[in-house]
Structure 1
Amino acid sequence: MDRIEAMRTFITVADEGSFTRAAERLSISPQLVSKYVGQLERQLGARLLNRTTRKVHLTEAGARYCQRAQQLLDELDELDSQVSDMQTQAQGLLRISAPVSFSTRHLAPLLCAFQQANPAVGIDLQLSDRKVDIVDEGFDVTLRIGRLKSSSLVAKRIAPVRLVLCASPDYLARYGTPTHPEQLSEHHYLRYSYLESDPSLALSSWLRESSSNLVSNNGDVLVQAALQGAGIVMQPTFICGPAVAEGKLKVVLPEFEPEPMGLYAVYAHRQLMASKVRSFIDFVSDYFDDVPYWDRFE
């Protein structure tokens, strides 16, 4: 028996005072109305209606059950409506995981613009450069930078991410400007912990042979060290671009620049996606141009 349908049928009979009128209102047969009410009474072990040839009346148990059942069905309808609204209207708390350096430099204006367009959406932003588990850790969407491997998750490319080798003019004046990757072994290289693990990075073998007195898992630290003349660094232009534009860092070996990585929005499912997630994916997809603003330094 469909318990919810039986409850609705019983309440309709109570409202109409008749199995026949209840059947007409519900667009079902009187026999099915009687069947639903009979099954509900048997399951409860109590008579809910006293039946006569012309009318039905609620018993004491029926009156109490009818009142409470109506409240429960109203609450259920309200819950259904709220969930449905969340699928059609962007609202609720959006939990986002994103990389540290990119977020601190570029994400705040995007999030503010998104919330202006979607004021019913709250945002919980957690910054981490590790690969989070979206489902297990309860995130709605994560922003990731790299070359993503195939998985059960859905990834949408948001913007290209250029990597450049650069150093301060003072460092290059002291140690010379390399003209071929083989010469990198003669230089001080400021090593980013996660980068050379990418086998698709063409410069990986030469970079691994370079001496590294400074290793860090944070690109901002390495770029600041490069500005102090500590060595050559490879970092995304969303970090080092402003310093290059101001002449504080100079790009080296531009002809060997790696293929761009990507900034991706990663989420769990395409189907039945909550409107807050769908709205954010659509918004962030349109936010950056094919040439992001941080690459307009040349």
Structure 2
Amino acid sequence: MEIKYSLDDLYLFWHVCRAGSFSKAAELLQMPVSTLSRRVSRLEQDLDLRLLHRDAHRLQLTSAGEQYLQRCGPLFNELGQVSASLDQEARDASGLIRITAPVGVTRYWLGEMLNRFLQQYPAIDIDLMLSNNNLDMVANQIDLAIRVGDPGLDNWIARPLMDFGFILCAASQRPQWQALSHPRELDQQPLVAVSPIINWDLETTDGQQHYRVLPAANTRVRVNDYDIATTAVKNGLGIGLLPCWLALPAIRRGELVRVLPQWLGLRRQSCLLYRDRDHQPYRLRLLIDFLLQQAQQEPTLEEWLEH
């Protein structure tokens, strides 16, 4: 059934009934009494019903007006509660945030940062979905994603978070691989590759030379997790292009050695991905600002290599 009257006018009628007069309702609504009276009269015309008896001293509901008030009153009360709840959500540091992030980034950095954030804001909850594949943000009702490389979504906001550096490594018990002099020789060596990265794009430390390795038939292990790939490299299964945060501690422990140390993997940038810049829940704004601030304190690739 088509509604032939304005719900806004019905809302004004409800306010008049609650206030007990047009003047009090107009004051609460911050609108002229004449406008308010005209809108209620229009509602009566649209309904073809008299809702109010008016005189100079009081208002009195008609039988039809009483029925409309009884039916619409609870609806507008509930809408008011919903509006208050949404307003509180926009202003309070509370509620649930749904996040998706790669496994490696979470183990290395994000997990600890989220723990610190939750300790700081005890009324905020987090639902964290780990995946090295790009989940459907809408279907999974994701509020915030961390992605490495191409974010893959044009209609979402991407904020740079931090860069990840990569170095070529091999097991310390495989000294023959340390004698390589150029990346082209990697085509003849067993490799440990990490999905979804297809190519190894390398450059010299001075940035003057570039070379692309295509791990293919010589790939002994392909896995979608850097921790597993690092373990495979440690066990001597092949040469791997590993993130500095995993490789350098293992090098200091004597488990790995660098291969072709004058070559580096191209840095990969991570980013925060979210839907809306202007109409975010307060809890989400807090988390975004927190992560961006913490990322600024992370060591650069040069600092990683120096230590």
1:284 is aligned to: 291
1:267 is aligned to: 274
1:182 is aligned to: 184
In 1, Cα distance between equivalents of 2:229 and 2:30: 72
Task: Please state if 1:116 is matched with 2:119.
Answer: yes
Whether the 8 Å CA contact 2:178–2:260 is kept in 1: the answer is no
Task: Pick which of 266-275 and 19-28 moved more.
Answer: 19-28
Task: Please state if 1:247 is matched with 2:254.
Answer: yes
Task: Pick which of 181-190 and 38-47 moved more.
Answer: 38-47
Per the alignment, in what secondary structure is the counterpart of residue 162 of structure 1? strand
2:206 is aligned to: none
In 2, Cα distance between equivalents of 1:226 and 1:63: 79
In the TM superposition, structure 1's runs of 4+ consecutive aligned residues that sit over 6 Å from their partners are none
CA separation of 1:186 and 1:56: change in aligned 2, threshold 3 A: closer
Alpha-carbon deviations, 1:147-203, whole Å to 9, x = none? 55682321112111011100111012x5543122132234221122322347x5557
CA separation of 1:63 and 1:186: change in aligned 2, threshold 3 A: same
Normalising by structure 2, we get a TM-score of 0.83
Whether the 8 Å CA contact 2:177–2:259 is kept in 1: the answer is no
CA separation of 1:124 and 1:150: change in aligned 2, threshold 3 A: closer
2:143 is aligned to: 140
Q: How does 1:28-47 map to 2 (within 5 A)?
A: 28-47=31-50
Alpha-carbon deviations, 1:225-273, whole Å to 9, x = none? 1111222111212333321231211122222102311121111222212
CA separation of 1:167 and 1:297: change in aligned 2, threshold 3 A: farther
CA separation of 1:266 and 1:66: change in aligned 2, threshold 3 A: same
Normalising by structure 1, we get a TM-score of 0.85
Alpha-carbon deviations, 1:37-91, whole Å to 9, x = none? 2233344454322223432212344334334534333322222222222222233
Of the candidates 4, 7, 19, which is equivalent to residue 3 of structure 1? 7
How many residues matched?
A: 295
| AA at the equivalent of 1:248 | E
CA separation of 1:206 and 1:7: change in aligned 2, threshold 3 A: closer
RMSD: 2.9
Per the alignment, in what secondary structure is the counterpart of residue 80 of structure 1? helix
Task: Pick which of 127-136 and 6-15 moved more.
Answer: 6-15
| AA at the equivalent of 2:299 | V
CA separation of 1:209 and 1:179: change in aligned 2, threshold 3 A: farther
Whether the 8 Å CA contact 2:241–2:265 is kept in 1: the answer is no
1:238 is aligned to: 245
Task: Pick which of 137-146 and 174-183 moved more.
Answer: 174-183
CA separation of 1:209 and 1:75: change in aligned 2, threshold 3 A: closer
Q: How does 1:210-249 map to 2 (within 5 A)?
A: 211-249=218-256
Whether the 8 Å CA contact 1:160–1:290 is kept in 2: the answer is no
Per the alignment, in what secondary structure is the counterpart of residue 264 of structure 1? strand
CA separation of 1:259 and 1:61: change in aligned 2, threshold 3 A: same
Whether the 8 Å CA contact 1:192–1:215 is kept in 2: the answer is yes
Per the alignment, in what secondary structure is the counterpart of residue 72 of structure 2? helix
Whether the 8 Å CA contact 1:191–1:233 is kept in 2: the answer is yes
How far residue 100 of structure 1 moved from its aligned partner, in angstroms, is 1.6
Q: How does 1:82-97 map to 2 (within 5 A)?
A: 82-97=85-100
Structure 2 residue runs without a partner (length 5+):
204-209
In 1, Cα distance between equivalents of 2:96 and 2:29: 38
In 2, Cα distance between equivalents of 1:147 and 1:17: 60
Task: Pick which of 62-71 and 128-137 moved more.
Answer: 62-71
Per the alignment, in what secondary structure is the counterpart of residue 254 of structure 1? coil
How far residue 118 of structure 1 moved from its aligned partner, in angstroms, is 2.2
Whether the 8 Å CA contact 2:202–2:264 is kept in 1: the answer is no
CA separation of 1:251 and 1:207: change in aligned 2, threshold 3 A: farther
User: Identity percentage over the alignment?
Assistant: 28
| AA at the equivalent of 2:154 | S
Task: Pick which of 79-88 and 143-152 moved more.
Answer: 143-152
Per the alignment, in what secondary structure is the counterpart of residue 157 of structure 1? strand
In 1, Cα distance between equivalents of 2:26 and 2:274: 46
Per the alignment, in what secondary structure is the counterpart of residue 247 of structure 1? coil
Of the candidates 150, 154, 158, which is equivalent to residue 151 of structure 1? 154
Structure 1 residue runs without a partner (length 5+):
none
CA separation of 1:164 and 1:147: change in aligned 2, threshold 3 A: farther
Per the alignment, in what secondary structure is the counterpart of residue 35 of structure 1? helix
